[in-house]
Structure 1
Amino acid sequence: MEKTMYALFATIDLALQIYIWILVASAIFSWLFAFNVINSNNQFVNQVGMFLYNVTEPVLRPIRRLLPNLGGIDISPIILLLIIFFIRMLLATTVAPLFGVRM
């Protein structure tokens, strides 16, 4: 039972880590796109951009609705990173020990 729970918590933690990297990649991609550093006409670049947008936008949209207008500055990825950090710490320090799992 303990090994199964450890595997579950480790998998959840890994998924959250991967999503953090996707958020970072999406932010960097949006900056590169905004400053015309990358060629938006390239099909591969366009597909990467659409993937990053489709994966991150459903989570970022509700956060953006709650934030005040900051004049073109989007801090929703930072807020989401803080939320993910909180969830990871909560899992490691509170939830996992309840099941006898040390992370």
Structure 2
Amino acid sequence: MAYTTEILKWHHYQIEVRYNPDPHHHVPLNGVTIAHLEIRCLSPERAALPITESGYRSVFMPGHYLEGYDSAADYVREWLDCAAQAPEWQDTLDQARQLSLF
């Protein structure tokens, strides 16, 4: 199967979400296929997100993780929302709001 690509708008970020439910065309192991999910912050370019400091994340995971979601972008949105509750992300946002003298 080919990758699907979606653009996700989350807060003030524009994020590309690429998903392939079976990138290696493997026979499922114990009934589980391995899917691939790529997340890239497009705007601001390479900005940190709650799930990646570099603005890019590549994840291989069991394909059934996305069951119950309408799309890979919906899964990523929920992942971002959950990760954004972490104190580390809140600290990152606070630091970004403060003016830097250097």
Question: Fold match, TM over 0.5?
Answer: no
Structure with greater contact order relative to length (CA < 8 Å, sep ≥ 6) = 1
Bucket of the pairwise TM-score, normalised by the shorter protein: under 0.3
Select the structure that is richer in strand: 2
Question: Taking structure 2 as the reference length, what is the TM-score of the superposition?
Answer: 0.27
Q: Who wins on radius of gyration, i.e. which is larger?
A: 1
Select the structure that is richer in helix: 1
Question: Taking structure 1 as the reference length, what is the TM-score of the superposition?
Answer: 0.26
